[in-house]
Amino acid sequence: MLLIATIGNYYGIKTSGKVQLITASLTFLILLGTIVLSLPHIQYGHINLELNKNNIVPIGQSAMLIFWSMFGWEAISSLAPEFKDPKKKNIMGSTLGAIVVIGILYIGIALAVIGTHSYSPGSSSSASQSLNNASLAEVVRKVAGLNGAWVTGIVAFTICLGTKKCLIAGISRLGYSLAHSKVAPKWLDYLDGNSVPRRSVLFVGIFSVLGLAVSYIFNIGLDKLVFVPNSLAIATYVIGTAAGVKLIKHVFGKIAAFISCILCLAAYPFIGASIIIPLVVIISCLLYMRLRDKKEKSAKS
């Protein structure tokens, strides 16, 4: 799937975008259908809104998965040049619309999974973990039967392709932008005749395959891997929202950025030991930029 996503982006965001539109539509229909069908089966006694000192840490750790689920919003800034009419109004409108739609879907799915008890809490067995990793299919099995669960599982697997294509597109465009600004290696500063950053796409694709291989060889599960992108993304959100507090002129925008920054800072400690990863990345980037500047000065002299 990584190879397909890489090849799709290699031949252009427009080709990739058509596939993404189809997969996004399928995702929307599956999630919406699951929510509607599960409503009669939800037992509200399973939903516990109590907050105490014993469940703060589990709630915080669960919030990390929510952050991970929401990753990808920042890609819109990197993909802005791909908009047919990249006006601020169009980008803001599409972003706000997506936030509302996805927010409703996520809350609805959370209620469906918890309300129908389609998960196995407090158990580390392989069967329980498999159930927790496929909770959506379990909800569909309960409301639409085994065949519905199989169809949902197969379609959901296919939908993963759309997510990969979107992330590779955003990250590769970001790599090109950084190289064009002389922050990343110059080799990535390349666009083909169709304005596709092919070198950056290849780099991201190869790096992703290597990451997948390392995870497989060392048996690193998703429960551990999720904290790596979480630590980096939340650190990015903290810096971005803090910058928004200073740079945004509109009062409402400043307040929204401030609240977002505080919430991200509150969630950050729950990352655990992975909190050191952004520090390592920052130090590595600063060292690279310093060595690059020294090399450029030496070349000029």
pLDDT tens for each residue of 32-42: 988 998 898 88
Work out the pLDDT band at 30, boundaries 50, 70, 90: confident
Work out the pLDDT band at 283, boundaries 50, 70, 90: very high
Residue 67 in tokens: 């952050």
Work out the pLDDT band at 72, boundaries 50, 70, 90: low
Q: What is the pLDDT of residue 242?
A: 94
Of 300, 34, 301, 1, the closest CA to residue 153 belongs to: 34
Work out the pLDDT band at 120, boundaries 50, 70, 90: confident
Work out the pLDDT band at 271, boundaries 50, 70, 90: confident
Residues in the chain: 301
Work out the pLDDT band at 2, boundaries 50, 70, 90: confident
The stretches of the chain forming alpha helices (DSSP H) are: 2-10, 13-38, 56-70, 75-78, 88-115, 126-133, 135-144, 146-180, 198-217, 222-225, 227-247, 251-267, 276-300
More confident residue, 295 or 51: 295
Cβ 176 vs Cβ 189: under 8 Å: yes
pLDDT tens string 199-228: 999 999 999 899 889 888 988 877 778 788
Q: What is the pLDDT of residue 74?
A: 65
More confident residue, 177 or 124: 177
Work out the pLDDT band at 262, boundaries 50, 70, 90: very high
CB neighbourhood size of 117 (10 A): 17
- At residue 126, does pLDDT exceed 90? no
Q: What is the pLDDT of residue 129?
A: 58
